[in-house]
Structure 1
């Protein structure tokens, strides 16, 4: 072939190759960008070249089939689905009714979390390749289980929430758990500690706080370490879900630790006089009394200990101990001096290596600036439960609840609230530890565990006569 023919052929191939690649790019509707994963594409181009040669007396037309492989690297921009305007997190909370005093603090914690997230632009969800703000949707359940059930159905079916937070307390949490399960919505049980809730085979519940069965363990550990001779223990508890579990477990744990449980008594939910029970406690001559209570009955029990002048070396009261209403009901700071009880978290409890979220100083400063008071463990529990949910959403990279729940199965985390790790099968908390607090000089001091103590324990506690 002539030199001119060869040139013509090369030009044809070049033109055809470029044209096909251009066709591919245009036809795919792709956008060329300089970043992102590259897609290698190999294109084989076949074309025909027609050449006519004229010689004396003869005209010859030759057709040649030309083949060329064209390789181009295309970077195609990924198209993400439309993101929701906000990630909707729903729950009911007892703004009125018997649980209102402490439930409002849990609610404050959730709102503080939402503000913390939104000030950072929201939660990053890889599925949408963007940060999405959070929106909390809540209703007052009036401390009523039937109303809570109706509200959780509404949250899922009408408000179309993406995930759930639990209400305050074990009774309401137990009531709404089947709804979360039915609709396959992850629910963080921020203040639902009763063990039996997590023994029903639910797959979408996640517990961030220490279970009820371990509430009085720190009191027993403290007593045994502080005074080995104080081996006689009495246990009384209110006969409802959470306090019953706490009381019965305390009896078993005390015996496992070699203590002599000299008296055990449960009392009805609605009670206005515990004097007969307390006189029986006195007759059993214990060194220590452990009380599984909520606010009203715990306050009643200690006030009547004072009125009956029953003195013990150590008294530990669940739930009520951390509340201003308890101090007022017993007779002021002087009256409660030396009294102790378990807490999920307290001011002064500092986690050394926080993996995620604000530290204690930041949380306390934010809450105090807003309310004028320091947060209780209910506030921090509300904040932490939502914090864990947000973290899991970001790690899952999606709002799919099954994927979010899978993240929780292997999630280990340290936050301002403490350590987090669950049993993957039940959702029950394994890592979070409680502290033991004691009233000292008008303030709550952490006296157990030793590595987290903010003050030396007052032991034995002062007699009632010395505090009058």
Structure 2
């Protein structure tokens, strides 16, 4: 009995020793694996770039300088603002990355702009491509982005043609042409206006404004008794003004760039003719510039108003008061205008899209805009809302009337839609 028991104890001890050895080997192996494995939950295995490169153009001279420079300054202000908090958080890298703007001067020349857009991508290897001001200087970037399959952030180029079956563009800060003039026809109708004269600059931005305005006129029984284009470079409007006078319209709409609006308003005032209503695009965007260049000659005229003349309650980014504080701390001698806000707003949308996508991949960033941002974000520029092709259908300007005081200041009264109006139109204008 004892012999058998001793043999049983020896066998049990042997088994126990083997089990202990196996456990030690397994535990040791697991410990070694985890001691050498790179963590993935908190630290990225991909090296982060030192900067997110934002490539853009600006025009320091030429026809578009007065519009391009404040837009560029607004984008620069955003870069400064976002970098004060460390930059944009990119999940792929597990950290915030500061932004850096790489910019070239196109001097208002579309041909120069075309080569510089390409340089930003092929030489500077920017992560984000941002267009210069307006449709004329954005058009070369649209062509290049389409051919190269690069996502273009279009700040204020609102030509409808840019967005036809084009997946490589997002309009950030200005509605596309048909939405730019959404409120014009119902506003005119509210004043019982049925006869209008329309002259427009022969470029994509203004030509599409005119085209879609005509479709809206039909809905409200409004007839364009004059409908003529003029070269965008026009400075003498005397013959157009005489043609309009002979047609006796109830309202006159001149659709152009600032370089068109300024001489037109001044020449209407000096012509001796009086029209019941004159409406132009840019006093509502560049009021300080127009007060300097046109002054009392635009007293009582109408325009389409944007921030800062219109105040929105944002759910993302600074409000108007906070924006003014940021702006004045950086540009104390330059009054902000809408295009200052447009450039800043472009940065807001770009930064939010990268953060939401968690990567610098262009396709993922576009998907973030469409799926998580569009229709859900209100900034100081209004509701950001784009179609699948990046066409901005939010941020609509409001018909307004400009009153200029003898001391050189102005008051802009918002007129339409009624729920956003701050006063009533004085029509016919004095």
TM-score by length of 2: 0.89
- Other-structure match for 1:450: 418
Alignment of 1:85-124 (within 5 A): 85-124=50-89
Which has the larger share of helix? 2
Answer yes or no: is the 8 Å Cα contact 1:237–1:291 preserved in 2: yes
Give how far 1:376 is off: 1.3
Cα pair 1:293 1:320 within 8 Å, conserved: no
What secondary structure, in the 3-state scheme, does the structure 1 residue paired with 2:415 have? strand
- 1:13 corresponds to 2:19: yes
Distance 1:338 1:219, change over 3 A: farther
Moved more, 148-157 or 410-419: 410-419
Q: Aligned with 1:124: secondary structure?
A: strand
> 1:79 and 1:342, CA in 2 relative to 1: closer, same or farther beyond 3 A?
closer
Q: Which residue of 1 aligns with 2:112?
A: 147
Structure possessing the higher radius of gyration over alpha carbons: 1
- 3-state SS of 1:269 partner: coil
Partners of 1:302 and 1:321 in 2: how far apart? 14
Q: Does structure 2 retain, via aligned residues, the 8 Å contact 1:338–1:458?
A: no
- Give the superposition deviation at 1:124: 0.8
Cα deviation for residue 292 of structure 1 reads 0.5
Question: Counterparts of 2:44 and 2:118 in 1: how far apart (Å)?
Answer: 34
**Structure 1, 82-91 or 372-381: larger mean CA deviation:** 372-381
State how far apart, in whole Å, the 2-side matches of 1:272 and 1:32 are: 67
**Structure 1 gap ranges (5+):** 38-76, 464-468
SS of match in other structure, 2:353: helix
2:165 matched to 1:204?
no
Once the two structures are superposed, the pairs formed by residues 281-292 of structure 1 within 5 Å of their partners are 281-292=244-255
Which residue number in structure 2 is paired with residue 347 of structure 1? 308
- The runs of 5 or more residues in structure 2 that have no matched partner are 1-6
Contact preservation (8 Å) 1:339, 1:461: no
Task: Look up the SS of the partner of 1:448 in the other structure.
Answer: coil
The correspondence of residues 157-196 of structure 1 with structure 2, limited to 5 A, is 157-196=122-161
Partner residue of 1:381? 342
Q: Tell me the residue number matched to 1:439.
A: 402
298, 302, 306: which one pairs with 1:336? 298
User: How big is the shift at 1:30?
Assistant: 3.8
Structure 1 segment 6-155 matched on structure 2, within 5 A: 6-27=12-33, 29-30=35-36, 79-155=44-120
Larger strand fraction of residues: 1
Q: Is the 8 A contact 2:182 2:396 kept in 1?
A: no
Cα RMSD after superposing both structures: 2.2
Cα distance in 2 for partners of 1:449, 1:18 equals 78
Alignment of 1:206-225 (within 5 A): 206-208=170-172, 209-225=174-190
Question: Could you say which structure has the greater relative contact order, defined with CA pairs below 8 angstroms and 6 or more residues apart?
Answer: 2
| Higher deviation after alignment, 334-343 or 359-368 | 334-343
Alignment partners' CA distance in 2, 1:458 and 1:27:
77
User: Separation in 2 of the partners of 1:360 and 1:325?
Assistant: 20
Q: Distance in 2 between matches of 1:388 and 1:451?
A: 27
Q: Following the alignment from structure 1 to structure 2, what is the Cα–Cα distance between the partners of residues 370 and 98?
A: 25
> In the superposition, relative to structure 1, how do residues 134 and 316 fare at CA in structure 2: closer, same or farther (>3 Å)?
same
Alpha-carbon spacing, 1:175–1:78, altered in 2? closer, same or farther (3 Å): closer
Distance 1:445 1:18, change over 3 A: farther
Structure 1's 369 and 27: CA in aligned 2 closer, same or farther, altered over 3 A? closer
Q: Structure 1-normalised TM-score?
A: 0.82
- The alpha-carbon deviation at position 320 of structure 1 amounts to 4.7
